[in-house]
Amino acid sequence: MVKEILDHFHQDEREFVDRAWEWVVNAGDYHELKLTDFLDPRQAFILQTLVNRHPDVHIRLDGGYDGAERCRAIIAPDYRNLEDEGMGLVVLSIYSGDQKFLELDHGDYMGAILNLGIKRSKIGDIHVLDDGCHSVVGEDIASYLHMQLNQVHRIHVQSEILPLEALRTSQVSLDTMDLTVASLRLDGIASDVYRLSRSKILVPIKAGRCRVSWKVVEDPSFALKEGDVVSLQGFGRFKVLEVGGLTKKERYRVRIGKFV
């Protein structure tokens, strides 16, 4: 990998950049086709950036439905028609007759799947429904999940493998809050959202446990903007929905949506 390309990315991203560049080179120079695991939006952006640097390679991104956050990618020589290539996607439907089932949230389903030894990159978007959950998964692990997943947060569940056409999606649920802040600094807004002191919020940020729009940010003074999605490991995610005007005391009005 050319050093000047690596210099554009955070140190924590360089392992993925190296791997992705190898996929691109193999496709362009050796006519290989690569189907990746699920990529988050930042990884998809990096991969697209690298593909754009090679004149003989193109990709297709697909997460099973329009607007998917996590997608698989096919990287191939530019003479191949990628619309004819299978993405290996199916739906894992999780359901139960227990009334407590309605209390389960996104994190409960995610935790149950990861506790089976499955990496996050093997799972696409998870949609929490009134009567259960639909998750986009790869065909290669669908049968394993179907056989092994029988409990979510102490509730007995069953599952079924469905074709992609049967996918039912859900709207993202946000708890909104209106803040007035002295600045748009990451540490200031995050401390208000997570109800942590400024000193306590600095620890995970400086430790590389914070991502802004899926990119690691270690600078507490990083200025957030409208549309940014902030994820702090162990504390959840929030989105900057709106940055309004200044108050009479010259503080920013900010509307936040916290993912639930």
Q: How many CB atoms lie within 10 A of CB 4?
A: 7
For residue 219 the two structure tokens come to: 């600078």
Same domain membership, residue 140 and residue 70: no
- What is the distance between the alpha carbons of residues 224 and 204, in angstroms, rounded to a whole number? 17
Domain stops at, among 67, 84, 101? 84
Residue 218: CATH number of its domain: 3.10.290.10
Note whether 29 and 101 are same-domain residues: no
Residue 114 sits in the same domain as residue 79: no
Q: Range of 69's domain?
A: 3-84
For residue 85, report the phi and psi dihedrals to the nearest 5 degrees.
-90, 135
> 24, 49, 84: which is the final residue of a domain?
84
Residue 66 has pLDDT above 60, yes or no: yes
Angle ∠(228,122,90) on CA atoms, nearest 5: 105
pTM here is 0.85
Token pair of 248 as six digits: 């009479």
Determine the average pLDDT of the residues in 61-65: 97
Query: How many domains in the chain?
Result: 3
Among 71-75, 96-100, 134-138, whose mean pLDDT is lowest? Answer: 96-100
What confidence category does residue 104 fall into, taking pLDDT thresholds of 50, 70 and 90? confident
What's the chain look like in SS3? CCHHHHCCCCHHHHHHHHHHHHHHHHHHHHCCCEECCCECHHHHHHHHHHHCCCCCEEEEEECCCCCCCCEEEEEEECCCCHHHCCCCEEEEEEECCCHHHHHCCHHHHHHHHHCCCCCHHHEEEEEEECCEEEEEEEHHHHHHHHHHCCEECCEECEEEEECHHHCCCCCCCEEEEEEEECCCEHHHHHHHHHCCCHHHHHHHHHCCCEEECCEECCCCCCECCCCCEEEECCCEEEEEEEEEEECCCCCEEEEEEEEC
Instruction: Judge if 12 and 35 occupy the same domain.
Output: yes
The C-alpha atoms of residue 199 and residue 30 are separated, in whole angstroms, by: 52
Query: Are the CB atoms for 256 and 189 separated by under 8 Å?
Result: yes
Average pLDDT, the chain: 93
Residue pair 135/91 in contact by the 8 Å Cβ criterion: yes
Q: Are residues 197 and 245 in the same domain?
A: yes
Half-sphere exposure (CA, 13 Å, Cβ side) for 138?
17
Query: Does one domain contain both 188 and 238?
Result: yes
Model pLDDT for residues 110-160, shown as the tens digit of each residue? 999 999 999 999 999 999 998 899 999 999 999 999 999 999 988 899 999
